[in-house]
Chain A
């Protein structure tokens, strides 16, 4: 079993839809949770950064962490074609040891 599981998609939605992206993990020692957005032929760009459980909102993006279920989510409201990218979840313990999901490829159609 992988430490971090992420559905690779691809996921295709119409413009304006609410997008839900998810990851599960197996190691309860993870404390910091991140979402990265990666456009084609670009490096990953940090989108959301949360510590421990709870919600964090930034504009159209909301990150949720449920440590009891070992489950994290990223919601995108009013999705735009410019949101089309691969989304990577990432997490780490209280050190430099990062673990990444394989990424979910999202397409938002106009």
Chain B
């Protein structure tokens, strides 16, 4: 299984600021995924990040709000821009191991005041 290190684990931010979340995988992976997890709701895919190309965003999510970088096959960042209290959530990165199973980082608990 892949091991994914995600940081920060939690942060409290002011409205209008931005936060960048980092994920490091212990092996090379083709695709990385960014999810949002809101209380009482299922995980929602924000975007898929491929190395060497622009991220693919799901309906309801845009690059200006959630820019993603994928500089190599083991690392990705998600930025939550111009934050509002509605962005308060858990953000998770994930990747697929070679056996097609999906593994997750430990999550970032974001609170926006």
Given A42-B106, A43-B104, A46-B102, residue A100 in contact with residue B6 (CB < 8 A)? no
Is there contact, CB below 8 Å, between B45 and A98?
A: yes
Hey, which chain B residues are within 8 Å of A88, CB to CB?
42-43
Query: What are the interface flags for B32-64 relative to A under an 8 Å C-beta threshold, 1 for contact and 0 otherwise?
Result: 010000001111010010000000000000000
Task: Please indicate the chain A residues that have their CB under 8 angstroms from the CB of B18 in the complex.
Answer: none
Residues of A contacting B96 in the complex (Cβ-Cβ under 8 angstroms): 96
**Nearest-CB distance from B88 to chain A (Å)?**
15
In Å, the complex CA distance between A88 and B42 comes to 8
What range describes how many residues of A lie at the interface?
A: 20 to 34
Judging by beta carbons under 8 Å apart, are A102 and B92 in contact? no
Q: Which residues of A contact B103 (CB under 8 A)?
A: 46
Chain A at the B interface: mostly helix, strand, loop or mixed?
strand
B-contact bits for A80-100, CB 8 A (1 contact / 0 none)? 000000001010000010111
Query: Are A101 and B42 in contact (CB-based, < 8 A)?
Result: yes
Contact with B48, one of A36, A44, A45, A96 (Cβ below 8 angstroms): A96
14 A-B interface contacts by CB (under 8 A) = A2-B42, A34-B101, A41-B106, A41-B107, A41-B109, A43-B92, A44-B92, A44-B104, A46-B101, A88-B43, A96-B96, A102-B40, A102-B42, A103-B42
8 shortest A-B CB distances, which residue pairs?
A43-B104, A100-B42, A100-B43, A43-B106, A43-B107, A102-B42, A44-B104, A43-B105
A residues apposed to B, CB below 8 Å = 2, 4, 6, 8, 32, 34, 36, 41-46, 49, 88, 90, 96, 98-103
